[in-house]
């Protein structure tokens, strides 16, 4: 039997499937590959602290080179804190002040337009009913007779379908309960958007644009730092503010005082007072997503 | 009527100015955030939302005789529309007749405008309770530290307390469709 001179002749029937040389080369390649991934880029989530600060400094330099002078904070979660949010359905007047405060605080793209909060107008006769909800209402004055308003943003689920579905592990829940996204690790597959039952995740179909003068320079690496095209983003409870002890921007702007925020683990917090004394509900409870965003009736 | 009111307002504000310079606000209702007598709570509230030039009320009222008869106001304050249980109540149910720079509770105890929530809380007790807990009304500041409160009167005009309708901010744009320009 004549063979062309090849390095690894096909094994004879009955002979071992792999030559020693071939095994050695594959093993070396695998080892090199493993070493390279271990030393190469890493998820921001698992980066050691010293390395993270370096990475954030690098990030700041990159942003500066592109004309966006921002500070990127790496503030970690406070121990003993689990953030919760409550929204008073009997007070919300549907004025959308929160939507635009969020846009400015979190450097959301103006064109194409991205809004992390969507205010749904609902019929009082039908109750909380997504099928007939109207997000595009535009009367001269709100609230309108016979209607109530349900602002919807990320519900910060404890059993988050988006986190479970992400194929790259680019989104996760932080120890303080905020579900965050690593914009450098997101591959833009949008599986999380399909998984989210609240429509709370938004995709950057084009390069996000923020007018230079309106850029909020106080950013957080898991929150409002400028995002590239092709990644998913969503509400982070204003991680850059709440980890400094401040209220989220939407809470402070609400003229009706309908938005409440605090630490679920602190028995004296506003949020615990609401949960313990008011009628509360979560959206789509039947899906067992266990939101940390509660709706309540304050009256 | 208007012709009369304008000069009256002017005189009132001038008088107010003169008083301010002269006697450092004699009645001195507890200064912003000052602890109330008898209560140890410390609530940080901004100054009450007076109409410009209207306070101190004693600027005009000090020299006026006290008329306790219930009547529609014509000489002054005729711009105030009372839509707040107006069938049963009148100015002097909340405003102190003897010193107009103060309000008074049903018990007769005087309270400053900075503490008007105690007055409102006489009827709206459950709102006061929720407001103290930080659940009724708007909060700014820190979720785990210094919280800034607003007085009832910052959001509700005490004379017509129903929350005012607002113009909504623009609706979101509908999603883009391929080949369709917005």
Q: What is the mean pLDDT of the segment spanning A282-297? A: 97
Q: Identify the three-state secondary structure at position A88.
A: strand
| Residue B165 to residue A141: CA distance in whole angstroms | 6
Pick from A142, A242, A247: which is nearest to B166 by CB?
A142
| Residue A99 to residue A103: CA distance in whole angstroms | 6
Helix boundaries (H) for B35-136: 58-61, 116-120, 125-133
pLDDT at position A15 over 60: no
Pick from A140, A205, A298: which is nearest to B130 by CB?
A298
Stretch 94-153 of chain B: residues touching chain A, C-beta under 8 Å: 130, 133-145, 150
Top residue of B45, B128, B130, B135 to mutate, by most chain A CBs within 10 Å, is B135
Domain-located, residue B35: no
Q: What is the mean pLDDT of the segment spanning A274-299? A: 96
In tens digits, chain B (182 residues) has pLDDT values of 455 554 554 444 544 444 444 344 333 333 333 334 444 566 778 889 998 888 899 998 988 999 999 888 888 898 899 999 999 999 999 999 999 999 999 999 999 999 999 999 999 999 999 999 999 999 999 999 888 899 999 999 999 999 999 999 999 999 877 776 65
Chain B nearest-CA residue for A115? B172
Chain B residue numbers touching A109 (CB-CB < 8 A)? none
Domain-located, residue B49: yes
Tell me if A136 and B130 make a contact (CB, 8 A cut-off): no
Tell me if A260 and B137 make a contact (CB, 8 A cut-off): no
Domain-located, residue B51: yes
Tell me if A138 and B170 make a contact (CB, 8 A cut-off): yes
Domain-located, residue B108: yes
Query: Which of A12-16, A90-94, A235-239 shows the lowest mean pLDDT across its residues?
Result: A12-16
Tell me if B165 and A262 make a contact (CB, 8 A cut-off): no
Q: What is the DSSP letter of B160?
A: B
B143-177: b (≥16 Cβ within 10 Å) or e: bbeeebbbbbbebbbbbeeeeeebebbeebeeeee
Chain A residue numbers touching B132 (CB-CB < 8 A)? none
Q: Which two tokens stand for residue B112?
A: 């400053």
Residue A37, H or E segment: helix A20-39
ipTM score of complex:
0.81
Domain-located, residue B170: no
Helix boundaries (H) for chain B: 2-23, 58-61, 116-120, 125-133, 152-155
Pick from A100, A112, A273: which is nearest to B133 by CB?
A273
Confirm if A120 and A283 have CB atoms less than 8 A apart: no
Confirm if B149 and B44 have CB atoms less than 8 A apart: yes
pTM: 0.82
Chain A residue numbers touching B150 (CB-CB < 8 A)? 257
Confirm if B56 and B36 have CB atoms less than 8 A apart: no
Query: What would the pLDDT profile of A146-188 be if each residue is shown by its tens digit?
Result: 999 999 999 999 999 999 999 999 999 999 999 999 999 999 9
| Residue B170 to residue A65: CA distance in whole angstroms | 34
Q: Is A262's Cβ below 8 Å from some Cβ in B?
A: yes
Chain B residue numbers touching A269 (CB-CB < 8 A)? 143
Q: Domain count of chain B? A: 1
Place A8 in a pLDDT band, splitting at 50, 70 and 90. low
Residue ranges making up the domain that contains B102 = 2-28+42-66+73-155
Query: What would the pLDDT profile of A29-66 be if each residue is shown by its tens digit?
Result: 998 888 776 666 678 888 888 899 999 999 999 999 99
Across chain A, mean pLDDT equals 92
Place A212 in a pLDDT band, splitting at 50, 70 and 90. confident
Domain-located, residue B182: no
């Amino acid at each position: 039997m004549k063979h062309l001179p090849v390095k690894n002749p096909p094994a004879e029937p009955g002979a071992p499937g792999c030559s020693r040389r071939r095994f050695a080369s594959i093993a070396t390649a695998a080892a090199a590959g493993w070493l390279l991934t271990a030393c190469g880029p890493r998820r921001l989530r698992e980066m050691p602290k010293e390395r993270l600060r370096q990475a954030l400094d690098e990030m700041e330099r990159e942003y500066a080179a592109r004309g966006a002078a921002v500070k990127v904070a790496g503030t970690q979660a406070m121990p003993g804190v689990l953030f919760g949010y409550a929204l008073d359905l009997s007070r919300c007047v549907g004025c959308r002040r929160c939507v635009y405060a969020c846009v400015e605080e979190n450097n959301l793209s103006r064109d194409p337009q991205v809004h992390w909060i969507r205010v749904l107008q609902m019929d009082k006769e039908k109750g909380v009913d997504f099928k007939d909800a109207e997000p595009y209402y535009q009367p001269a004055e709100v609230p309108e007779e016979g209607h109530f308003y349900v602002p919807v943003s990320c519900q910060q689920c404890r059993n988050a379908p988006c986190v479970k579905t992400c194929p790259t592990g680019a989104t996760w829940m932080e120890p303080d309960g905020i579900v965050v996204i690593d914009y450098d690790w997101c591959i833009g597959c949008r599986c999380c958007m399909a998984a989210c039952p609240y429509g709370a995740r938004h995709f950057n179909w084009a390069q996000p644009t923020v007018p230079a003068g309106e850029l909020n320079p106080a950013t957080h690496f898991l929150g409002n730092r400028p995002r590239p095209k092709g990644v998913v983003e969503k509400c982070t409870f204003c991680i850059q503010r709440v980890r400094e002890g401040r209220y989220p921007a939407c809470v402070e702007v609400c003229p009706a005082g309908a938005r409440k925020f605090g630490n679920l683990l602190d028995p004296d917090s506003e949020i615990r007072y609401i949960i313990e004394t008011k009628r509360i509900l979560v959206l789509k409870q039947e899906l067992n997503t266990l939101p940390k965003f509660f709706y309540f009736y304050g009256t | 009527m208007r012709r009369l009111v304008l000069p009256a307002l002017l005189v009132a504000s001038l008088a107010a100015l003169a008083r301010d310079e002269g006697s450092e606000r004699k009645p001195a209702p507890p200064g912003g955030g000052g602890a109330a007598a008898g209560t140890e709570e410390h609530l940080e509230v901004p100054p009450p939302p007076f109409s410009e030039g209207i306070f101190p009320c004693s600027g005009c009222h000090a020299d006026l005789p006290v008329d306790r008869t219930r009547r529609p106001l014509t000489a002054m304050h005729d711009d105030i529309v009372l839509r707040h249980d107006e069938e049963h109540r009148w100015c002097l149910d909340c405003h102190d007749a003897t010193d107009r720079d103060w309000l008074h509770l049903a018990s007769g105890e005087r309270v400053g405008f900075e503490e008007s929530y105690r007055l409102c809380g006489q009827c709206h007790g459950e709102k006061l309770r929720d407001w103290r807990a930080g659940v009724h009304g708007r909060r700014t500041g820190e979720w785990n530290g210094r919280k800034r409160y607003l007085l009832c009167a910052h959001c509700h005009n005490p004379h017509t307390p129903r929350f005012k309708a607002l113009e909504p901010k623009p609706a979101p744009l509908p999603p883009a469709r391929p080949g369709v320009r917005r």
